[in-house]
Amino acid sequence: MKNLLGYNIKSQDGRLDGEEFVLRRIDGALSSKQKNLEEEGAALEKSSAFPLWLSLLKYFFLLAGCILLGGGLDALSDDEALLADMEANGLWWIIGAGAAAILVGLVLALLEWRKGKIVKGSSAFLDFSERTKKLNAQSREALRVPENAAPIDVFTYPYKPRANGKASIFEPQYFLLEVAAFREGDLFCLSDVERVLGIPLDKIRRVLRVKKSAAFIGWNKETPPNKPPYKVRINQYGVHYAKPIYAVEIEGSEEFYLLFPPYEWEKIAPLLGDRAPNIEEVKRLS
């Protein structure tokens, strides 16, 4: 099966794997403005973060510090005789080096956070945010998205094609995207800022509740992901994990599925009509 919102990053046409369900698109002028704004946003995001080598250095210090400090403390707890002669065994140096490495990692993390906060509080970023809101409103109007459409998070799948199949561009498999969900007649519709997809309700085969967690990047809610009602786990590298996840199976020229985190189910269920109660539990997606 294919992710309905999967797309080949090497392709220049911006087509989704589920392109056959696209009902309408914004015109060329609006599309060009959206692409320019996307490039501007990427540049601002890049300026708010450390370069890759410095981010890797931060993680290296944190990881090395935990290993050294944990190893040194573990050695002390294993042998009481070492406690009396720590200097001779070099444990003070190991524990001290571990603590120092963690401190350096934390300082780098603090500097990175401060840099991001400065950029996102700048007049350039605030102006960009305002222009983004206005342009997105124009796109929604052009796409005839209802004002009461529910904002929901879904999992997209950006990939680079390889000879043996699709390969995700991210180490986590998915990227979180906010779309507007609504009903249009007998169609279950999803809209980003460039297109509206319409899925006939009679093409929805079933809904799966997948026990296996999904790793993803991105967060769109104001409340932190690890707080109720979301309770999404985050690791030290900023990768998010949701469990369980839901998959809506869709019949088209191929078999597709729409994936979304568990906290969006209550918004999506009413839009699926009599398909909503038909939920099957599986360990993982096939």
For residue 211, is pLDDT > 80?
yes
Choose one of 108, 142, 176: the last residue of a domain: 142
Q: Is 273 left (phi over 0), alpha (psi -120 to 50) or beta?
A: left
Q: What is the pLDDT of residue 185?
A: 93
For residue 19, is pLDDT > 60?
yes
For 47-104, write each residue's pLDDT tens digit: 777 777 788 888 888 888 888 887 777 766 655 555 555 554 566 777 788 888 888 8
Give the tokens for residue 85: 């002669």
Whether 43 and 217 have beta carbons less than 8 Å apart is answered as no
Same domain, residue pair 123 and 247: no
Read off the amino acid at residue 133: K
Same domain, residue pair 268 and 171: yes
DSSP reduced 3-state for 249: strand
Q: What is the CATH number of the domain that holds 9?
A: 2.30.29
Whether 150 and 267 have beta carbons less than 8 Å apart is answered as yes
Same domain, residue pair 40 and 170: no
Mean pLDDT for the stretch of residues 278-284: 86
Same domain, residue pair 75 and 112: yes
Same domain, residue pair 187 and 122: no
Choose one of 142, 159, 187: the last residue of a domain: 142
Question: 34 pLDDT band (50/70/90 cuts)?
Answer: confident
Domain containing 253: what range? Answer: 2-26+146-282
Read off the amino acid at residue 6: G
Mean pLDDT for the stretch of residues 14-23: 91
- Measure the N-to-C terminal CA separation of the chain; round to a whole number of Å: 8
Same domain, residue pair 160 and 202: yes
For residue 276, is pLDDT > 80?
no
CA–CA gap between residue 157 and residue 199 (Å, rounded): 19
For 216-275, write each residue's pLDDT tens digit: 988 999 898 988 889 899 887 788 999 999 999 999 999 999 999 999 999 999 999 876
Same domain, residue pair 172 and 121: no
Same domain, residue pair 11 and 96: no
Domain count, the chain: 2
For residue 29, is pLDDT > 80?
yes
Q: What is the pLDDT of residue 195?
A: 93
For residue 4, is pLDDT > 90?
yes
CA–CA gap between residue 128 and residue 107 (Å, rounded): 29
Same domain, residue pair 99 and 214: no
Q: What is the pLDDT of residue 85?
A: 54
Q: What is the pLDDT of residue 8?
A: 87
Read off the amino acid at residue 226: N
Same domain, residue pair 222 and 157: yes
Same domain, residue pair 133 and 36: yes
Query: Beta partners for 245?
Result: 210
Q: Does pTM surpass 0.85?
A: no
For 123-153, write each residue's pLDDT tens digit: 887 888 888 889 889 999 999 999 999 999 9
According to DSSP, residue 149 is labeled P
Give the tokens for residue 168: 């995700």
Same domain, residue pair 19 and 160: yes
Average pLDDT of the chain is: 85
Q: What is the pLDDT of residue 162?
A: 76
